[in-house]
Amino acid sequence: MLDLLVRNATLPDGRTRMSIAVQDGRITEVTEGLAAPAHETLDAQGLLLSPPFVDAHFHLDSALTYGQPRVNESGTLLEGIALWGELKPQLTHDAIVERALRYCDGAVARGLLAIRSHVDTSHLSLLTVQALLEVRQRVAPYLDLQLVAFPQDGLLRAPDGLRNLQRALDLGVDVVGGIPHFERTQAMGAESIRILCELAAAQGKRVDMHCDESDDPLSRHVETLAYETQRVGLQGRVTGSHLTSMHSMDNYYVSKLIPLMAEAQLDVVANPLINITLQGRHDSYPRRRGMTRVPELLAAGLTVAFGQDCVMDPWYGLGSADMLEVAHMGLHVGQMTSQAAMRQCFEAVTTHPAQLLGLEGYGLAAGCHADFVLLHARDAVEAIRLRAARLAVFRRGRRVASSPAPVAQLHLPERPENLIFI
């Protein structure tokens, strides 16, 4: 007797009428038309069953703080940084934990079951680190939270930047972060990358740096990141986040850079909602989009994910843990409207970030964790188009969230009474 059988599902790869058998929290079989006794049987009615959404880039320590102590009036990056500086002294452990748990509730409801969050290590007290370590433990039964030690004020620029980052790693933070473009000089940015990659290699950690989050085409730290990745043998374990300067770089230079990034097996995260709003602010018109070169990086074989980055924090007063909204924006900003590219945008919030995080047992195949989302859409492109409702969310074979299908009652002559948005 199976624990759970999902029948008549469409999978993101296009297979239809598929059954997924679950036993002891794992998928035991994925096959067409399987009928077997189970404690719970779910008829997917031909709708899309996807592995859960994964957010490769987030800031859980600042999420849901919007308006504290005041709102970002200009909506710019610089006012956001100033605002975070004003807020930091007012943060408390309990308030950070409460907000983070509340955000994770919303994430689960939207089928987002794995998040890589940067955590600011600039405080001497490591208040944010301690709080998110507690959150990581508390959400572990239902959400994989991976933490990145992020020296927001600079590794070399801030006093004790390196020491605080190392203390955060010692406390159990998973990944080594960085912010080379924020160091005082290009040379110090490069030096910070060298130090951080050596540190990660020595301690067996992955790396994920905020890198070249700038419109300056000469912000080329990603080149150093690719070089250091290879030099210390971290291929496939290093992520360049943002890389917005690549949007503005000279095409000839990029034709050399992307193959170097591919050689180093660098992973990339673009954050379309944030990049499109924070970059290009010094432009008049034409005004640059700021998102990195996603289609070209994918074509070169790199793993590219779309991240949420911010939700209701000093930098961004919108967002809702909805990775389909993120994919929707990435698709538009990157002009990824071919059939194949639209499907890649779905992968950029599911399989790609799962690979980038190194998640064990992710996917819809025998042996994987029984983690999946039933979406109110017939395929991946429609899921993006509709930001489809998450009808049911499963973690380790157990239902952790449900939402009704959106239906509107129409009061029109000679038209249907109920409109189902599909």
Q: How far is the CB of 269 from Fe ion (least distance, A)?
A: 9
Interaction with Fe ion in 212-231: which residues (CB under 5 A)? none
Cis preceding linkage at 51, omega within 30: no
- Beta 48-50 vs 38-43: how paired, if at all? unpaired
Nearer to Fe ion, 224 or 308 (CB): 308
Cα angle 245, 323, 357 (rounded to 5 degrees) comes to 70
Interaction with Fe ion in 173-212: which residues (CB under 5 A)? none
Q: How far is the CB of 174 from Fe ion (least distance, A)?
A: 16
CA dist list (Å): 409 to 161, 377, 381, 388, 419: 57, 20, 26, 18, 6
List 40, 73, 198, 213, catalytic entry: 213
Nearer to Fe ion, 313 or 371 (CB): 313
**Cα separation of 292 and 210, whole Å?**
13
Q: Which residue is nearest to Fe ion (CB)?
A: 309
Nearer to Fe ion, 84 or 142 (CB): 84
Q: How far is the CB of 307 from Fe ion (least distance, A)?
A: 8
Count of chain residues binding Fe ion (CB under 5 A): 1
* Residues 6+ positions from 18 with CB-CB distance below 8 Å: 8, 9, 10, 11, 30, 31, 32, 49
**Cα separation of 214 and 199, whole Å?**
25
Q: How far is the CB of 291 from Fe ion (least distance, A)?
A: 14
Nearer to Fe ion, 281 or 378 (CB): 281
DSSP labels, 211-235: E--SS-TT--HHHHHHHHHHHTT-T
Q: Edge to edge, what strands does the sheet with 38-43 contain?
A: 26-32, 18-23, 2-9, 38-43
213 classed as catalytic: yes
Nearer to Fe ion, 51 or 178 (CB): 178
Instruction: Read off the DSSP letter of residue 85.
Output: H
Q: How far is the CB of 57 from Fe ion (least distance, A)?
A: 6
Interaction with Fe ion in 299-318: which residues (CB under 5 A)? 309
Query: Which parts of this chain interact with Fe ion (CB under 5 A)?
Result: 309
Residues annotated as part of the active site: 213
